[in-house]
Amino acid sequence: MVEWSDNERAIIADVWSKIDVGEIGPQTLARVLIVYPWTRRYFGAFGELSSVAVVLANRKVATHGRVVLNALDVAVRDLDNIKSAYSHLSSLHRYQLHVDPANFRLLADCLTIVIATKFGAAFSSDVQSTWHKFMAVVIAALGSRYF
Amino acid sequence: MVEWTEFERSTIQSIFSKLDYDVAGGKALARCLVVYPWTQRYFGSFGNLYNATAIMGNPKVAAHGKVVLQGLDRAVKNMDNIKATYAELSVLHSEKLHVDPDNFKLLADCLTIVVAAQMGAAFTAEVQAAFQKFLAVAVSSLCRQYH
């Protein structure tokens, strides 16, 4: 099981408390679609995604970005049980959505970058380190039903 | 050969022109040593790397970070020829320094976060895409002579 120090728990709770899901979710997903354009293949039903401006304005992207980021709340609230908490989500991504698990890391990277742009110098190396660990655990949990 | 749009060229020049080479390289390298602690094995002669505070304050880390950023500067000034520009550096990292090439991506990621934190909202999705493309080319060129 993953071990979290008190300091790590405090950092994750603090970062999460400062994240406005309504703002960060849409930005994060939009960045994934812009920076890693092959990910658009998962969102054929979202309409126009052919240019940066269009992705940024796309309401379905924004809505779905919020859905994804809201799901992180489950992990934040249950740090000691992320793998089992995400078991059904992992199966969903594997068996129904057929998402290549490599993409989880791309999303995590974009989220980390959005947080860095928001926090500036407050995103210190300690905070980055802790957040990176948290993302790694989430990614592993989401991939846990893929085999 | 890599093709760069006008936007990508001007974005890369602009980002690097605003970076304080005395500071940014050191910050990125320090973050690498903190967030990915196994990378400390390459810097046995750097003295105190025992914790984040020690690493962030270590003058040898700062000095070496500047060296690394000056190396990146050569790619910035030769964007149409990065592969050739880095041929010797690639041999150096492979034959002399014996650096696992996976580490280039880790440092690139840390530099991205340093730049994102510095630029805040100005580090838009398009800017991120251009910056990551540039770093991907630099990393790929550094890997080129490893066989």
Mutation target among B23, B29, B35 for the A interface, most CBs of A within 10 A: B35
State which residue of chain A sits closest to B112, comparing Cα positions: A113
Q: What is the pTM of this model?
A: 0.90
* Residue for token pair 């690493």: B55
What gap in Å lies between CA B10 and CA B130, rounded to an integer? 10
Q: 10 Å Cβ neighbour count for B59?
A: 10
State which residue of chain A sits closest to B27, comparing Cα positions: A125
State which residue of chain B sits closest to A56, comparing Cα positions: B125
pLDDT of residue B77: 97
Question: Whole-number mean pLDDT of chain A?
Answer: 95
ipTM attached to this prediction: 0.82
Name the percent of chain B lying above pLDDT 70: 100
pLDDT of residue A1: 78
Q: Is the pLDDT of residue A147 over 80?
A: no
What gap in Å lies between CA A88 and CA A91, rounded to an integer? 5
The C-alpha of B145 sits at a distance from chain A's nearest C-alpha, in angstroms, of 26
Q: Is the pLDDT of residue A51 over 90?
A: yes
The 3-state DSSP class for residue A131 equals helix
The C-alpha of B101 sits at a distance from chain A's nearest C-alpha, in angstroms, of 19
Q: Is the pLDDT of residue A113 over 90?
A: yes
